[in-house]
Structure 1
Amino acid sequence: MTVAKPMEPHDYWQEVFPPGSFVGDGGFRTFFPATLADGRQILLPIRPLSDGRHALASLIINQASFEVEDALAEELAARLAPFRPEIVAGLPTLGLTLAAAVARKLGHKRYVPLGTSRKFWYVDDLSVPLSSITTPGQKKRLYVDPRMLPLLRGWRVVLIDDVISSGASILAGLSLMAACGIEPVAIGAAMLQSERWRQPLAELSPQWPDRTVGVFATPMLVRADDGAWSASDTRI
């Protein structure tokens, strides 16, 4: 097992470690080792929640090294390939980094970025409210450029975000796609963060949890009396 030196905030998401470098069964202090399908590992910082007792592992993909971004995109593209996607739509903001990389791995020439900045030619009917666990309290709207609709309608679309946590951003993306007359064939993310997203997606349609794929999943963490973090069954 690798013994990690003390890590600075900018050190996370920078290296893909060989399989078995870190034990992943609990007793975490500052980082959580996420494990890819082939056993390789990426270190994620642990972010305590407001109650002080629970925490989540964090991924900010546009701060990751190119090595990490490439590994995540390659694995997600492989997991999405069975759905035979013809076009990738990416959710802002961090999902755009991953969506573009996955589209390239799938051999696509381009992708469709959704956005939160309204251009003057946008149509209000092609927008929905958007919230995110990382930007609570911010009132935003999610837009699709109407000029991009021919790239989406009638094609096999996959909807990509960097992290799926509460499910709020993905639900907004699905709502926007529905407003455009589009039903994605699958949803993809680098990280499925805890299990909180499953119920909201299942309430929208029972199909969505089974059509949602991630490179890796991370649990809700709970703090022990000694200050270490371990996986929790709690859903908060």
Structure 2
Amino acid sequence: MTVAKPMEPHDYWQEVFPPGSFVGDGGFRTSFPATLADGRQILLPIRPLSDGRHALASLIINQASFEVEDALAEELAARLAPFGPEIVAGLPTLGLTLAAAVARKLGHKRYVPLGTSRKFWYVDDLSVPLSSITTPGQKKRLYVDPRMLPLLRRRRVVLIDDVISSGASILAGLSLMAACGIEPVAIGAAMLQSERWRQPLAELSPQWPDRTVGVFATPMLVRADDGAWTASDTRI
């Protein structure tokens, strides 16, 4: 199956397609098919990077249909279940949507949202600098509500973001957890975007790449001579 005409931006992330709906062997023009464990597929838009030669498949989960959100949360919960999670902590901003849904799928009654908005009762010692590939140049801090610490301490915590790309947001989350005296048992994401995140996490501790699970992985894409995008091993 192929898309008859280019999709509008609001058309993406709205449907879970049957297995084999799209061929995933390269030559992509505007869309990349992400494949779930059971073979079903979600079509993602391709976003060219500033160099014009490379691109990444994009996922914005809070713009996804409830069907797609539900499918991603269900599979991520199944992948995290073997770690025995007792509480889910979500990274802002888009990771909060996924974290809440995964917590429900795991049978939890609540989750702990981390945030970038400092409430007056927050303390600076429970915050770390935060940067993101999607908001370059913005100076933010990542906070945990001190009142939530009893939910996290001495519990099996999983840390969730929507997409792991450069690894910067996850590293900030791990640093914040460490400041709280907490070591998560696993990291989860809907999409592992390229391989760039592996080295920074491994440099923090060799355990983290093995403890990081995603619903699907998407490669760095490079533009071919005919203008199509193909998978590349390039890390930029």
The TM-score normalised by the length of structure 1 is 0.99
Using the TM superposition, give the Cα deviation of residue 172 of structure 1 relative to its aligned residue in structure 2, in angstroms.
0.0
Cα deviations across residues 86-125 of structure 1 (Å, max 9, x unaligned)?
Answer: 0000000000000000000000000000000000000000
> How big is the shift at 1:3?
3.6
- Structure-2 separation of matches of 1:134 and 1:85: 28
| Cα separation, partners in 2 of 1:157 and 1:214, compared to 1, 3 Å | same
Deviations 1:70-95, CA, capped at 9 Å, x for gaps? 00000000000000000000000000
Consecutive aligned runs of 4 or more in structure 1 exceeding 4 Å deviation: none
Query: Which consecutive unaligned segments of at least 5 residues does structure 2 have?
Result: none
RMSD: 0.6
Distance 1:19 1:223 in 2: 26
- In structure 1, what is the equivalent of residue 172 of structure 2? 172
Cα deviation for residue 27 of structure 1 reads 0.4
Task: Check 1:16–1:121 CA distance in 2 against 1; reply closer, same or farther (3 A cut).
Answer: same
SS of corresponding position for 1:210: coil
Write the distance in 1 (CA, Å) between the matches of 2:87 and 2:38. 26
After superposition, the Cα gap between the structure-2 partners of 1:83 and 1:4, relative to the gap in structure 1 and judged at 3 Å, is farther
Q: Deviations over 1:17-56 (max 9, x none)?
A: 0000000010000000000000000000000001000000
2:206: which partner in 1?
Answer: 206
Q: Could you state the TM-score of these two structures normalised by the residue count of structure 2?
A: 0.99
Percent identity of the aligned residues?
A: 98
Aligned-pair CA distance for 1:6: 2.1
Secondary structure, counterpart of 2:230 in structure 1:
strand
Instruction: Give the distance between the partners of 1:101 and 1:42, measured in 2 at CA.
Output: 18
Question: How far off its partner does 1:5 sit?
Answer: 3.1
Equivalence for 1:23: 23
Q: Measure, in 2, the Cα distance between the counterparts of 1:131 and 1:5.
A: 36
Corresponding residue SS for 2:210: helix
Q: Deviations over 1:186-226 (max 9, x none)?
A: 00000000000000000000000000000000000000011
Secondary structure at the counterpart of residue 14 of structure 1 = coil
Question: Residues 97, 23 of structure 1: CA spacing in aligned structure 2 closer, same or farther, 3 A cutoff?
Answer: same
- Per-residue Cα deviation, 1:109-155 (whole angstroms, up to 9, x for no partner): 00000000000000000000000000000000000000000000000
- Who is 1:10 aligned against? 10
Say which SS state the counterpart of residue 132 (structure 1) adopts. Answer: coil
What secondary structure, in the 3-state scheme, does the structure 2 residue paired with 1:209 have? coil
* Superposition deviation, residue 2 in structure 1: 4.0
Q: In 2, distance between residues paired with 1:220 and 1:97?
A: 25
Aligned length: 236
Cross-structure match for 2:231: 231
- 2 CA distance for matches of 1:156 and 1:2? 43
Q: How many Å apart are 1:4 and its aligned residue?
A: 4.1
SS of aligned partner of 1:151: helix
1:230 and 1:177 mapped to 2: Cα distance? 37
